[in-house]
Structure 1
Amino acid sequence: MATFDLELVSPEKLLLSRPVEMAIIPAAEGDMGILPGHSPMIVALKGGVIEVRGGGSATERLFVAGGFAEITPTRVTVLADEATPVAQISRAEADARVREAEATYQAQANDAPELREKAMDRLLAARAMRDVAGAA
């Protein structure tokens, strides 16, 4: 099957760089499947899971807290605000992040709309992280 190059970069390091058959990314407008030959575009990412597929099944799942993806017919580059393999996310850590994000959002009740929007984005990303977290 045809492949394209996928690169996943977080502020800390390059997490993934290899040919893949398909990737599903959490675009801000909804989950988006990418195959070789996809139309070029740049999309914003929301908090969610990037699923890498090869050989007809999911090979990797990585949580991203947001960022951007640049898509070309032969390459996808994801610039993630934060990226973590799903298997490494603990339920306790995710619950703590949700509580912190909820408190921040509530504290910004009277702040400017753009600050509240950023706080809501962090809260939604934390909830998405909790949804995929393991039971540990």
Structure 2
Amino acid sequence: MATDLHLRVITPDKIALDTRTDSVRVPAVDGQMGILSRHAAMVAALDAGVLRWTEGGVSRHMFVAGGFCEVQRGEVRIVTPAGERPVEIDEARAREAEARARERLRVGKSTTGEPLDTVRAELSLRRALLRLSAKSLE
């Protein structure tokens, strides 16, 4: 299969990925969405999750922290607050974030003793687990 798509992942800090690809699968808020060459132009909201693509028949992936996906004229642009390839994910740090979030949920208070924002703690836990999931695919 030809690499007909140009995939770019853009974060506030850097261009996390700039490559040619055969196909892309994004974690849209409505579920996983596949993109092949000649895909119709569109914009989709992304959920935090694992972005997947293929290069020359080899599967690749990275963690994205939500954002937006734009598909237009053979280009797939992902704009996200954070994007990390498995090699960039610090597993110890992700496990610490998971433990902190689980402890906040268990105790019902933030680390400062303030009442817990449960939704925020659950999102922190989910993000840590997704980062660990992306790391495990390395």
User: How many residues are matched?
Assistant: 129
Give 1:3 deviation, angstroms: 0.6
Matches within 5 A, 1:53-92: 53-58=54-59, 60-92=60-92
Please give the TM-score of this superposition, normalised by the length of structure 2. 0.76
Separation in 2 of the partners of 1:37 and 1:119?
40
**Per the alignment, do residues 133 and 18 of structure 1 end up closer, same or farther by CA in structure 2, a change over 3 Å counting?**
closer
SS at match of 2:39: coil
**Per the alignment, do residues 24 and 16 of structure 1 end up closer, same or farther by CA in structure 2, a change over 3 Å counting?**
same
Matches within 5 A, 1:15-94: 15-58=16-59, 60-94=60-94
CA contact (8 A) 1:47 1:126 kept: no
Separation in 2 of the partners of 1:125 and 1:88?
15
Please give the TM-score of this superposition, normalised by the length of structure 1. 0.77
Partner amino acid, structure 1, of 2:128: A
> 2:129 maps to which residue?
127
Superposed CA RMSD? 2.4
- Point out where structure 1 has 5 or more consecutive residues left out of the alignment: none
**Per the alignment, do residues 2 and 130 of structure 1 end up closer, same or farther by CA in structure 2, a change over 3 Å counting?**
closer
Separation in 1 of the partners of 2:52 and 2:73?
18
Separation in 2 of the partners of 1:66 and 1:104?
23
> 1:6 maps to which residue?
7
CA contact (8 A) 1:6 1:76 kept: yes
CA contact (8 A) 2:97 2:124 kept: no
CA contact (8 A) 1:94 1:133 kept: no
Separation in 2 of the partners of 1:83 and 1:13?
9
- Of 77-86 and 38-47, the range deviating more from structure 2: 38-47
Separation in 2 of the partners of 1:44 and 1:107?
31
Identity, in percent, stands at: 26
Give 1:74 deviation, angstroms: 1.5
Separation in 2 of the partners of 1:86 and 1:2?
22
- Of 62-71 and 98-107, the range deviating more from structure 2: 98-107
